[in-house]
Amino acid sequence: MAQFAHHNYTVQEGVYKAPVPTRVIFGEGKLESLRTEIEALGGRRAFVLSGKTIAEKTDAVRSVRSALGDSCVGVYSGLTQRAPLANAVEATRLALAAGADTLVGVGGSTIADASRMIGVMMTEKITDADQLRRTSERERGLIHLDLTGKSLPLQVSLPTTLSAGEYNMGGGKILDDHARKMIHVRHPSLFAQLIVLDPVLTIGTPDWLWYSSGIKALDHCVERLYTKGNQPMVDAAVLMGAELLYRYLPESGEPLQDVHARLQCQIGSWLSMASVPNNAMGLSHGLGHVIGTRYSLNHGYSSCVTLPHVMAFNRPASARKQALLARAFGLDTRGMSDEAAASEAAQAVAGLIRRLKMPCTLRDLKIPKEDIPVIAQLTLGDGGCAYNAVPVTDAGQVVSVLENAW
Chain region(s) in the chain for CATH 1.20.1090.10:
5-13+204-405
Please state, in angstroms and rounded to a whole number, the distance separating the CA atoms of residues 383 and 182. Answer: 15
Angle at Cα 337 formed by Cα 335 and Cα 342, nearest 5°? 115
Q: Which residues are CB-contacts of 337 (< 8 A; sequence separation ≥ 6)?
A: 319
What pLDDT score was predicted for residue 134?
76
5-13+204-405: CATH number? 1.20.1090.10
Chain region(s) in the chain for CATH 3.40.50.1970:
30-197
Give the DSSP per-residue string, 2-24.
---GGGT--------PPPP--EE
Give the DSSP per-residue string, 159-226.
ESSS--GGG--SEEEEEETTTTEEEEEE-TT-S-SEEEE-GGGGTTS-HHHHHHHHHHHHHHHHHHHH
> What is 30-197's CATH topology?
Rossmann fold (3.40.50)
What pLDDT score was predicted for residue 77?
95
- Burial of residue 69 (number of CB atoms within 10 Å: 0-12, 13-18, 19+): exposed
Ranges under pLDDT 50 in the chain? 1-6
8 A C-beta contact, residue 308 and residue 392:
no
Q: Which residues are CB-contacts of 122 (< 8 A; sequence separation ≥ 6)?
A: 92, 95, 96, 100, 152, 153
Angle at Cα 193 formed by Cα 191 and Cα 199, nearest 5°? 105
What pLDDT score was predicted for residue 3?
46
